[in-house]
Amino acid sequence: MKTATTLLAVVLLGGVGAGSYWLGLRAQAAASAGPATSASATPAASAAPKLLYYRNPMGLADTSPTPKKDSMGMDYIAVYEGEDGSGAPQTAETAGGAPAANTLRISTDKIQKLGVRTETASLRLLGTTVRAAGRVEPDERRVSVIAPKFEGYVEKLLVNVTGQSVVKGQPLFEAYSPELVSAQREYAIAVQGQQAMMDAGGDAQASMRQLAESSLAHLRHWELAPEQMAALIKTGQPQRNVVFLSPVAGVVTDKKALLGMRFMPGDALYQVTDLSSVWVIADLPEQDIGAVKVGAVARITLAAYPNERFDGRVTYVYPSLKPETRTVPVRVELANPGGRLKPAMFAQVELAIGGKTPVLSVPESAVIDTGTRRIVLVQLKQGRFEPREVVLGARSENWVEIVKGVRDGEEVVVAANFLIDAESNLKAAISGFGAPAQAAAAKPTPPPTAPAISAAAGPARPPASGAAAPPHSGH
C-alpha cells in the first residue's frame, strides 16, 4: 500500500513539471515574436509622415493647425513629423508620400539665415559689350598730297607752318620751272602760228591747230591752276612762276617744301588732311572678333574729354590679324565737328553686340559650374529646391542663355546657391542624375528576422533557489 501511494505521487509531480515547462516555452516564443512584429510595422508607418502643424512663412513664432495665410498673403508652410525646425535639409515628398528624386527641402528660418534670393527665368535680349583700346587716325580718303609733276624750285612759301588750317583753293606756294616756262612758250607760238595761217590752206590750218591743242594738253597734264590756264589762253603770255593751290579744306599735316629748294617730279611737298571726319581704329582680341559685325554701335571715350561720349558705327573689320598681339583691327567712323578729335589720340572703344531676338536667360550667378556640368537650383515652392543640369548658350555681362533645363517663368536661386550646395550635400543628389535605374532598383533593407526558438533549446533550467525539491524514496 505504501509503495503504490509513493508511485502515484511521483507520476503527479512529473506531469505538473512537464506542463510548467511547456507553458514557459509558449510565453518565451510570444515575447520574442512581439518585437519582430513591431519592427516590421515601423517602415510602413514611417512611409507616410504625419502632418504636425503649419508654420509662418516668414519664420515668426506663429503656428496653425490648419492651412492659412499671413498678413502679406503668403501661405503657411506645412511641417511634417521629422521636421524639428533645425533647418536640416531633407528630401521632399511627392503627393503620394514617396520621396521625390533630387528634390531638396530647407526650412524657412534656414533660408533666411543663408540669404537665399531668387529671380525669374524669362526672355531677354542678351546684349553684351566688347571693350578694346583704340586710337584716332585721319580718314585716308580725305588726305591730299601736293606733288608737282615737273622739276622746279620753290620761290615763295604762302603756307609755311605745319598744322595750319587752309581752305579749298588757298595758295600754298609759288614755284619756278624752266620746263614749264618752255611749254608755255610752245603753246603761245602755236597759237600765233594758227592765227597767221588763217588765210592759208585747210591742211596748214589744221596742222597749226593740232600743234596748239597738243601744247595746251601738255600744260593741262601738269595740272596748272585753272586761272593760270585761262590767263595763258587769253593773253598768250607765259608766266614765270606757278602757284599751287590747296585741293581740299583741312589742316596741313605735313610740309616738306622749303624756300629755295629744288624739287623733282613726284616729290610730296605738302599734305593737307580734312579732319571733319576721322577714324578710330580699335584692336579687338581674337576671341571677340566673331561677334562683331559691320554696323555695330560703338561708344568712344577719350582721356581728353572724360565726361563725354562719342557715338559711331563699325564700318570695316580688317581681314588680317596681328600675330604679335593676336588682335584684329576694327574701324569706326566718327564725325569731328570743330576738329576736337586729334589724330594719334588714345581712345576706349565699347562695341554693343548681341542677338536681335529674346532668349530664355537667367543671371550668371545662378549657374553652378562643377567643371563637367552646369547646375541651376530651381525653387519649386517655398523651401523646396530642385537641382537641374542645364545647357548654356550666349552670354552677356550679367546674364546667360539657358538652352535646355529651365522653363520660362521658373524661379532660380541667384544668391546663396553654393551655401545650399554645402547644406544639402548637393553633390550626392547630382550623382543620381546619371543612374535613375539604380535609384528605382534600390529597395529598403528588410528588418532583421526574429531568432527562432527550438524546442530542443537545451536542458531545462534548474529550479530557482528555495524551490521544493522532488521527494525521493527513503529507506
The domain that holds 366 is classified in CATH as 2.40.420.20
114/377 Cα distance (integer angstroms): 15
Scan for cell 591747230, then name that residue.
Answer: 209
Percent with pLDDT over 90 in the chain: 30
Instruction: State pTM to two decimals.
Output: 0.53
Considering only 19-33, 149-163, 168-182, 342-356, which range has the smallest mean pLDDT? 19-33
Domain boundary among 298, 325, 354: 354
Residue range(s) defining the domain that contains residue 78: 53-82
What is the predicted pLDDT for the residue at 40? 44
- CA-nearest of 271, 368, 282 to 317 is 282
Q: Is residue 164 domain-shared with residue 261, that is, in the same domain?
A: yes
- Count the domains in the chain: 4
pLDDT digits (tens, 9 = 90+) for 418-469: 666 555 554 454 555 554 444 444 444 455 444 433 333 344 444 444 444 4
Please say if the pLDDT value at position 164 is more than 70: yes
What is the predicted pLDDT for the residue at 472? 45
Q: How far is CA 165 from the centre of its chain?
A: 47
Give domain status of residue 1, yes or no.
Answer: no
Q: Is residue 168 domain-shared with residue 234, that is, in the same domain?
A: yes
- CA-nearest of 217, 360, 220, 351 to 284 is 351
Domain boundary among 233, 267, 301: 267
Query: Residue 232, SS3?
Result: helix
Please say if the pLDDT value at position 267 is more than 90: yes
Which one has a higher pLDDT value, 423 or 229? Answer: 229
Q: Is residue 180 domain-shared with residue 261, that is, in the same domain?
A: yes
Question: Residue 246 corresponds to which cell in the numbers above?
Answer: 590747296
Q: Kindly indicate the confidence band of residue 104, based on its pLDDT and cuts at 50, 70 and 90.
A: confident
What is the predicted pLDDT for the residue at 39? 42
What is the predicted pLDDT for the residue at 326? 93
Q: Is residue 214 domain-shared with residue 260, that is, in the same domain?
A: yes
What is the predicted pLDDT for the residue at 372? 84
Q: Is residue 121 domain-shared with residue 217, that is, in the same domain?
A: no
Residue 254's beta-bridge partner residues?
A: 271
Give domain status of residue 37, yes or no.
Answer: no
Q: Kindly indicate the confidence band of residue 35, based on its pLDDT and cuts at 50, 70 and 90.
A: very low
Give domain status of residue 7, yes or no.
Answer: no
457/439 Cα distance (integer angstroms): 43
Q: Is residue 302 domain-shared with residue 412, that is, in the same domain?
A: no
Residue 56 amino acid letter: N
Q: Is residue 234 domain-shared with residue 333, that is, in the same domain?
A: no
Give domain status of residue 172, yes or no.
Answer: yes
What is the predicted pLDDT for the residue at 393? 84
284/331 Cα distance (integer angstroms): 10
Domain boundary among 267, 290, 309: 267
> Strand 63-64's sheet: what is its strand order?
63-64, 51-55, 77-80
Q: Please provide the DSSP assignment of 421-436 as one string.
A: HHHHTHHHHHTTTT-H
What is the predicted pLDDT for the residue at 454? 37
Phi–psi pair at 200, nearest 5 degrees: -80, 180
Q: Is residue 263 domain-shared with residue 182, that is, in the same domain?
A: yes
Mean per-residue pLDDT of the chain: 76
Q: Is residue 156 domain-shared with residue 218, that is, in the same domain?
A: yes
Scan for cell 545647357, then name that residue.
Answer: 391
Give domain status of residue 103, yes or no.
Answer: no
35/25 Cα distance (integer angstroms): 17
Q: Is residue 220 domain-shared with residue 314, that is, in the same domain?
A: no
Query: Residue 317, SS3?
Result: strand
Give domain status of residue 57, yes or no.
Answer: yes
Considering only 34-48, 63-77, 239-253, 413-427, which range has the smallest mean pLDDT? 34-48
Q: Kindly indicate the confidence band of residue 471, based on its pLDDT and cuts at 50, 70 and 90.
A: very low
Contact 347, 308 (CB under 8 A): no
